[in-house]
């Protein structure tokens, strides 16, 4: 996915999460034991605000965490208040990412890198939690194929490097093959080799 598509996916998944949450804030999240829909909305909103501090204000993870306020309490602010707050946090992040541009250097999970990292990371984080919230009120809508493929690509490219030695092996391989119809030749194919260094 390109930078524009990732930013659009972040907006789309945020809007879909908010729509799915309406009327269900107290519902438990089947995939995340102990969490309610309202708590997931607050979690994703705070994550958006945290990432906005990183991109817009040049903060690292710890500084951005200290800059956050408390999670809004759904019981105190009510459904309209929580969803308005969530929309504001989404706007804050989308505006920060748009203003900075995809090549702006900032802190990322894998060192200093371009802000496009956060377009991708927050689109996927929000999509996963949108799926969680959907599941609290029925069958979750599937992720779009392009976003799902990009999410796997993100894990293979970025997060496997973070795990390093924890993935050490003797040369064994793992092949992932997407089975979605209509994929181009070679699209949705990944092979990971587990060597001595991970």
Q: Is residue 191 in some structural domain?
A: no
What does the pLDDT read at residue 166?
A: 80
* CA 59 to mean position of chain CA atoms: 19
Rg for the chain, CA atoms, rounded: 18
Instruction: Give the separation between CA 179 and CA 188, rounded to whole angstroms.
Output: 8
Q: How many CA atoms lie less than 13 Å away from 33 in the CB half-sphere?
A: 0
Domain of residue 121, residue span? 3-156
Spatial CA neighbour of 85 closest among 100, 97, 74? 74
- How many structural domains is the chain composed of? 1
Instruction: Give the separation between CA 67 and CA 73, rounded to whole angstroms.
Output: 18
CB 106 within 8 A of CB 119: no
What does the pLDDT read at residue 105?
A: 99
Where residue 36 sits, what CATH number does that domain have?
1.20.120.450
What does the pLDDT read at residue 160?
A: 76
Q: Is residue 126 in some structural domain?
A: yes
What does the pLDDT read at residue 193?
A: 86
What does the pLDDT read at residue 109?
A: 92
What does the pLDDT read at residue 179?
A: 92
Q: Is residue 165 in some structural domain?
A: no
Q: Is residue 197 in some structural domain?
A: no
What does the pLDDT read at residue 59?
A: 97
Instruction: Give the separation between CA 96 and CA 137, rounded to whole angstroms.
Output: 32
What does the pLDDT read at residue 137?
A: 86
Q: Is residue 146 in some structural domain?
A: yes
Q: Is residue 66 in some structural domain?
A: yes
Structure tokens at 12: 């789309």
Q: Is residue 194 in some structural domain?
A: no
**In the chain, which stretches have pLDDT less than 50?**
none
CB 42 within 8 A of CB 82: yes
pTM value is 0.92
Q: Is residue 169 in some structural domain?
A: no
What does the pLDDT read at residue 46?
A: 96
What does the pLDDT read at residue 34?
A: 95
């Amino acid at each position: 996915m390109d930078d524009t598509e990732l930013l659009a996916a972040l907006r789309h998944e945020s809007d879909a999460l908010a729509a799915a949450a309406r009327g269900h804030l107290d519902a438990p999240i089947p995939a995340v034991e102990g969490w309610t829909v309202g708590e997931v909305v607050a979690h994703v909103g705070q994550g958006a605000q945290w990432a906005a501090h990183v991109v817009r204000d040049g903060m690292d993870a710890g500084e951005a965490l200290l800059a956050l306020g408390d999670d809004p309490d759904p019981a105190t602010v009510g459904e309209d208040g929580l969803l308005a707050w969530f929309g504001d946090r989404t706007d804050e992040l989308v505006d920060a990412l748009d203003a900075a541009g995809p090549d702006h250097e900032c802190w990322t999970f894998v060192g200093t890198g371009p802000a496009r990292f956060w377009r991708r990371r927050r689109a996927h984080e929000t999509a996963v939690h949108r799926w969680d919230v959907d599941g609290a009120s029925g069958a979750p809508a599937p992720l779009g194929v392009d976003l799902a493929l990009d999410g796997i690509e993100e894990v293979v490219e970025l997060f496997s490097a973070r795990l390093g030695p924890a993935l050490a092996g003797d040369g064994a391989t793992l092949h992932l093959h997407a089975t979605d119809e209509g994929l181009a030749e070679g699209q949705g194919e990944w092979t990971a080799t587990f060597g001595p260094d991970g």
